[in-house]
Amino acid sequence: METLKSYNPATGEVVGEVPVTPASDIPAVVARARAAQPAWEELGLEGRVDLLRKTAEIFAERAEAHGELMTKEMGKPLKEGIGEAKSLAYIDHELDEIVATLQPEVVEDKRLRSTVYHDPLGVVGAITPWNFPMSMPAWMVLPALAAGNTVVFKPSEKTPAVGALLVECFHRAGIDKHVVQALIGGPDEGKALVAHPEVDGVLFTGSAQAGIAINRKCATNPGKILALEMGGNNPIVVMKTPKVEDAALLIARSAFTTAGQRCTAARRLIVTEDMYDETVQAVKDLIPKIIVDEPFADPAPFMGCVIDNQAADQLAESFLYLLSNGGKAIRHLKRPQEDKPFVTPALIDTTAMEERPDVELFGPLLQVIKVTDLDAAIAEANNTRFGLSASLIGGAPEDYNHFWANIRAGIVNWNQPTNGASSKQPFGGLGLSGNHRPAAYYAADYCAYPVASSEIGQPRASMGVGFKTD
């Protein structure tokens, strides 16, 4: 049997080894999911939710161990890994919101009762990235299962051990092993899952390139629900504020948390000219204070490594490209260990670049752009095909209202980082960032479809115009 090994990116050590599901076996996997779906639906919303609450209890009991595994497999600091694992314990609270969304809606009139029910799609494929290998799948799998679907879950090939563990927790809670299945593999397995005609919905989080490919594959099948969350080239805008040090911390948290490996991480720092010098200096002075180290190190690091050496190489190449095409280095991106994927936070002014590449540089690389005023900042912030997250630092309430009304993003913050998201709010964007189907508990809306029903206790009808009466 072929297996997939996962490695600790900080040390190179093998973390786990998980059996691969070959693409040729996917029809059988989907068939099992299809066969299990009617019984799971007939269990009823209350019965399904009870089992999901038991799953939340298991997540809570094992949060420390799960967080350690996540830290080893993905390379984020231990505090982040445990924090993500603990967040799954709050599934219990999120289920209340999902239940409310899925309840039948009754409209009474004088003669009959009209009801809107929420029927499951059937079999749902969930494809998730490596940067949040537990919470991101939970945002997909939880509402899909609650709605009555069965789920084939494909975790990233870079975090297969965490993905397999997640599914194991659902099974330990008493959910049938065919109701939620792990599909371990790489891009070929993901493509086969998306293309399978018996998969009724595809929930995807990952790169824009992969999302576009999935969208293209499903374009001729309007009956297959497609939910895409695809990252961003996110702006953080700074205008007049007396709290420059606080602003610098918010900028650093936006750009460098999880080594910049968040889809909501700030990629572009857009600063009005009256705030440019002191803001950039404050961020420049803060960067050397950021601890970059092995995830379990003491003292605890703010940043671990990026996911692998290939990612580190790409970031180094991107920095050199910006530098050679008009960028001005403020803090160089460095690799302290050539054989390990550690990189230092980088800051580069790209104001003078004629054509800044509109791409998601997935790491701790922050571009700085100087503008004249807030309107120019908004125009520059919107100068992207993406539209996931944006944040305004500084200004008055009327400035934020102006910013909010004109910015193109699915997440808009004021005096807060661009990253960090609540599962009780919609999580998604527009343009290359998504297709208007946000994740979190809002996913319950597209994990089921509304069925309109007119109902009366006994059949009643009378002959009217057009019928003979004799």
pLDDT digits (tens, 9 = 90+) for 191-221: 999 999 999 999 999 999 999 999 999 999 9
Q: How much of the chain is helix, strand and coil, in % rounded to 5?
A: 40, 20, 40
pTM score > 0.85 for this model? yes
Question: pLDDT confidence of 113, banded at 50, 70, 90?
Answer: confident
pLDDT of residue 37: 98
CATH architecture designation of domain 3-230+434-455? 3-Layer(aba) Sandwich (3.40)
Residue among 166, 179, 98, 157 nearest 134 (CA): 166
Question: 229, 294, 360, 380: which one is catalytic?
Answer: 229
Q: How far is C-alpha 460 from the geometric centre of its chain's CA atoms?
A: 51
pLDDT of residue 442: 83
Tokens of 104: 């039948």
Under DSSP, the state recorded for 382 is T
Is 229 an active-site residue?
yes
Give the three-state DSSP class for 207: coil
Listed in sequence order, the residues at least 6 apart from 334 whose beta carbon sits closer than 8 Å to its beta carbon are: 343, 344, 346
Which pLDDT tens digit goes with each residue over 343-365? 999 999 999 998 999 999 999 99
* Cα 423 from Cα 449, distance rounded (Å): 21
Which pLDDT tens digit goes with each residue over 366-387? 999 999 999 999 999 999 999 9
Q: Please check the confidence at residue 55 and state whether its pLDDT lies above 80.
A: yes
| Superfamily for domain range 234-414 | Aldehyde Dehydrogenase; Chain A, domain 2 (3.40.309.10)
* Cα 216 from Cα 435, distance rounded (Å): 13
Quick one: average pLDDT of 250-277? 98
The sheet with strand 389-393 has its strands ordered as 328-331, 346-349, 365-371, 266-272, 234-238, 389-393, 411-414
Question: 84, 157, 218, 263: which one is catalytic?
Answer: 263
* Cα 136 from Cα 138, distance rounded (Å): 5
Listed in sequence order, the residues at least 6 apart from 90 whose beta carbon sits closer than 8 Å to its beta carbon are: 56, 423
Which pLDDT tens digit goes with each residue over 421-438? 777 788 999 999 999 999
Partners of 118 in the β-ladder:
450
Average pLDDT, the chain: 94
pLDDT of residue 441: 76
Under DSSP, the state recorded for 257 is G
Under DSSP, the state recorded for 301 is P
Instruction: Please tell me the total number of residues recorded for the chain in this structure.
Output: 470
* Cα 130 from Cα 316, distance rounded (Å): 21
Question: pLDDT confidence of 1, banded at 50, 70, 90?
Answer: confident
* Cα 138 from Cα 440, distance rounded (Å): 8
Question: pLDDT confidence of 266, banded at 50, 70, 90?
Answer: very high
Q: Please check the confidence at residue 189 and state whether its pLDDT lies above 90.
A: yes
Q: What value, to the nearest 5°, has the Cα angle with vertex 364 and ends 247 and 296?
A: 100
Question: pLDDT confidence of 103, banded at 50, 70, 90?
Answer: very high
Residue among 162, 163, 168, 217 nearest 191 (CA): 217
Q: Please check the confidence at residue 470 and state whether its pLDDT lies above 80.
A: no
Helical axes 63-74 vs 160-172, angle rounded to 10° = 160
Q: Please check the confidence at residue 281 and state whether its pLDDT lies above 80.
A: yes
pLDDT of residue 107: 81
Question: pLDDT confidence of 255, banded at 50, 70, 90?
Answer: very high
Give the count of beta carbons closer than 10 Å to the beta carbon of residue 65: 12
Domains 3-230+434-455 and 234-414 equal at CATH topology level: no
* Cα 33 from Cα 441, distance rounded (Å): 22
DSSP per position, 415-430: SS-S----TTS-B--S
Domain locations in the chain? Answer: 3-230+434-455, 234-414
pLDDT of residue 146: 97
pLDDT of residue 455: 80
Q: What value, to the nearest 5°, has the Cα angle with vertex 316 and ends 313 and 317?
A: 85
Residues of the chain with pLDDT > 90, as a percent, come to: 86
pLDDT of residue 264: 97
Cis peptide before 299 (omega within 30 of 0): yes
Quick one: average pLDDT of 322-350? 96
Which pLDDT tens digit goes with each residue over 136-179? 999 899 999 999 999 999 999 999 999 999 999 999 999 999 99
pLDDT of residue 420: 81
* Cα 120 from Cα 97, distance rounded (Å): 17
For residues 407, 204, 420, 293, the Cα torsion angle rounded to the nearest 10 degrees is -120
Tokens of 133: 């290998």
Residues of the chain with pLDDT > 70, as a percent, come to: 99
